[in-house]
Structure 1
Amino acid sequence: MIFHKHKLFSYTIVIALSAVTFACGGTQEKTVSESEPEQMKDRIELIQDETAKRVDVLIDGKLFTSYIYPDSLEKPVLYPINTANGNAITRGWPITPRPGERVDHPHHLGLWFNYGDVNGLDFWNNSSDIKDKTKYGHIAHKSIKSMKSGNEEGVLEVSMDWMNNKGEVLLTENTSFIFRGKDDRRSIDRIAILTAPNGEVKLTDNKEGMLGLRTARQLEHPSDKPEIFTDASGKATDVPTMNNEGITGMYLSSEGVEGHDVWGTRGDWVSLTGKINNENISVAILDFPSNPGYPTYWHARGYGLFAANPLGQKSLSDGKDELNFKLEKGESATFKYRVIVYSNESIFDGQVNQDYIEWAK
């Protein structure tokens, strides 16, 4: 519960003024409503629209992001995600396509959290394009447990079910989103607790996972050749060469690895730097030391997929590492990540590393 100190201050003034007026023989009365300043809104405001199945997150009156959970999606996501100056760092397609965008991988939307092999089911690649759902799983929004606005942060707590195509629950997810924003910086903490309520759940090493962000076209690497990417089931997706005008993205990892070479490496964090509408932008994803599979492998592609995958070690290490993570019945695991959106500030002075040290505490 947020306690507004200015109310107490205002009441004290009213009482004090009343006493002075009475002592001076004055007859005019002051009411609380006349003396009290207007109720100030919280800087970080969460607003639910149950009909649209969304919760909007406003910072200083401007949309930062929305938690959306319509039935048409195979998982809830944060979409869009905007900088402090209102530029979207997320791709618009397939919900609100923009000119010049890629139209590959329809399951890449906003910021999401799922995995490519959960008891043999593919949660990662599922989308409305998949007609036969037999080998796919989906994540259903269950409830909003709490929602709190504030001046320093806004907090949204939700529950979800990871289910097979028969509606049987494999995993329950209880997630807290913590939204912060000040000056030209915005951040999201995503803290997910996965529990296996009905039996053992195996999350076998798989390339497709786990915390994913699909970026706006401007934050992609300039594309110098067409490529074909194949998912774990063998389905191939063409990613063609496109016009590179205004395409400025560049990855950098905590280990000093840059560009395309970030893919398949481990690190505490990775940043993606570029420019949108003359705004210098850096987006960083930070791992957490207690996470399973720490330090995470990075499933980061130049065409706009920016993902941390702590569980796909065999696939991402070319067989050097192997995890095959699993949860026994009733067992839980916690995954904590921070996403920071920097605007108009350089991160090459070690800013992300400083922020990571603070986060990792």
Structure 2
Amino acid sequence: MKNLFYAALLATAAYSMNAGAQNLSIENPKAVKILSNEKEKRIDILIGGQPFTSYIWPDNIKKPVLYPVLTAAGNPVTRGWPLQPRPGERVDHPHHIGVWFNFGDVNGYDFWNNSDQAARDHKGPFGTIRHKKVNKIVSGKDKGELDVTMEWFPGEKKAVLRENTKFIFSGNDSIRIIDRITTLTALDEKVDFKDNKEGLIALRVARELEHPSNKPEKFTDAQGNVTNVPVLNNEGVTGHYISSEGREGDSVWGTRAKWVILNGNIKGEPVAVMILDHPQNPGYPAYWHARGYGLFGANSLGQNAMSGGKETLNFSLDAGKSVTFKYRILVSSAKQLSAEDASSLFKKFTGN
């Protein structure tokens, strides 16, 4: 059965090309078209007339996500499961869907691990992030903007955080870029982000971008719950991490870095996925999730948990106060990226 998300993206692409869309079609590889379908709880993003990703907020996911994320050649860099399983994929951590932003301890509530399929021994308490409204959609010749509002709800209580996020999408015939600028505002009470290893911006990558593994693993979350990750067939598994601090492979996990690259191949296409932290973010440079099984993300607020108790941040917001986080996710299909490439890309992103 065809994936409904992919089918919708392809239909959107066809519409964009047939309609002309004010010259925002495949003739211009940098043109970004953003098409809203709020009835279906999705907003589709096309670059050069080709599907890139969708912002979705279905009822069966506990936070809005970008899903799927495709290369310029149309290969998914995000895992399909649990929304659209693909043969040979892992089926662990059901809360790892597409690209997301949340945290494992917000006033004592776990926003990271919440899922309809959460393990029975994981009792939370859980938090949920709900899409509230679309503020602005702008398509353009070289970039597109999507501005949305969400709210963070601890359990059945009233919202404690308002989130305003601006996504800026750009690219060309070989590069795709997502800039996420997220402002969190504490509402009626102080909000504490207790240092926690589960956070903050992340994606779960396709099987091809995982590290080849030769032994089963057990991974324990911040509440002590264990997830078993078995050994799978490593055919076509090619992922390799590189950090700004010169670390590679499994040694990247749990270390600080300005940026991290994940290089690999998908169906013969050289692919690199890069996440860039920003110097203005709290906790910069972030600690990194760079798991061989496919979790890839930057944690700006997990100092005590990620440093083994050597550092403490315990970030908080007083009622009415705000904080802004800015990250860039870059997907290259022209080539895999070197450390030199990444340094240049980081300077373009940060201006220094």
After TM superposition, the score normalised by the length of structure 2 is 0.90
Please list, as runs of the form range in 1=range in 2, the aligned pairs for 1:75-94 lying within 5 A after superposition.
Answer: 75-94=63-82
Q: Which position in structure 1 is the counterpart of 2:212? A: 222
What does residue 128 of structure 2 align with? 138
1:134/1:165 contact within 8 Å kept: no
Q: Is the 8 A contact 1:133 1:165 kept in 2?
A: no
RMSD over aligned Cα atoms: 1.5
Once residues 210 and 353 of structure 1 are traced to their aligned partners in structure 2, the CA distance between those partners, rounded to angstroms, is 22
- Match runs of 1:95-114 below 5 Å: 95-114=83-102
Determine if contact 2:190/2:318 at 8 Å carries over to the other structure.
yes
Aligned residue for 1:151, secondary structure, equals coil
Instruction: Give a deviation string over 1:176-196, Cα, whole Å, max 9, x none.
Output: 000001120000000000010
Matched, 1:162 2:145: no
Distance of 2:22 and 2:35 partners within structure 1: 17
Which sections of structure 2, spanning at least 5 residues, go unmatched? Answer: 1-19, 26-30
Cα distance change on mapping 1:349 and 1:133 into 2, 3 Å: closer
> 1:72 aligned to 2:60?
yes
How far is 1:238 from its partner?
0.3
Cα distance in structure 1, aligned partners of 2:239 and 2:284: 26
Q: Identity of counterpart residues, as a percentage?
A: 54
Q: Is structure 2 residue 185 aligned with structure 1 residue 202?
A: no
The corresponding residue for 2:230 is 240
The CA deviation string for residues 271-324 of structure 1, in whole angstroms up to 9 with x for no partner, is: 000000000000000000000000000022110000100101111111111100
Aligned counterparts of 1:360 and 1:248: Cα–Cα separation in 2: 29
Q: Which residue of 1 aligns with 2:169?
A: 179
Matched, 1:285 2:275: yes
| Letter in structure 2 aligned against 1:241 | V
Distance 1:39 1:177, change over 3 A: closer
- Residue by residue over 1:199-221, the C-alpha shift from the partner in whole angstroms, topping out at 9 and shown as x without a partner, is 10000000100001100000000
Q: 1:212 aligns with which of 196, 202, 205?
A: 202
Larger Rg belongs to: 1
1:27 counterpart residue number: none
> Matches of 1:214 and 1:335 in 2, distance apart?
20
* TM score, norm. by length of structure 1: 0.88
Does residue 123 of the first structure (1) align with residue 111 of the second (2)?
yes
Give ranges in structure 1 of 5+ residues lacking alignment.
1-36
* Distance apart, 1:134 and its partner CA: 6.0
Could you report, residue by residue, the CA deviation over 1:35-63 in whole angstroms, capped at 9, with x for unpaired residues? xx994236210011122100000112211
Distance 2:107 2:330 in 1: 32
Q: Pairwise mapping of residues 27-66 of structure 1 onto structure 2 (< 5 A)?
A: 39-41=22-24, 43-66=31-54
Query: Aligned pair count?
Result: 325
CA separation in 2, counterparts of 1:50 and 1:194?
A: 23
Change beyond 3 A, Cα 1:329–1:220: same
For residues 322-343 of structure 1, what are the alpha-carbon distances to aligned partners after superposition, in whole Å with 9 as ceiling and x for unaligned? 1000001111000000000011
Q: How far apart, in 2, do the equivalents of 1:248 and 1:135 lie?
A: 37
Partner of 2:320: 330
**1-side partners of 2:90 and 2:69: how far apart?**
18
In 1, the alpha carbon distance for the partners of 2:22 and 2:281 equals 41
Separation in structure 2 between the aligned mates of residue 73 and residue 293 of structure 1, nearest angstrom: 28
Partner deviation per Cα, 1:49-90 (whole Å, 9 max, x = no partner): 122100000112211000001111100000000000000000
- Contact 1:45-1:58 at 8 Å conserved across structures: yes
Letter of the aligned partner of 1:55 in structure 2?
I
Determine helix, strand or coil for the equivalent of 1:229: strand
Hey, what does 1:148 align to over in structure 2? 138
Q: Tell me, in whole angstroms, the C-alpha distance in 1 between the residues paired with 2:253 and 2:276.
A: 15
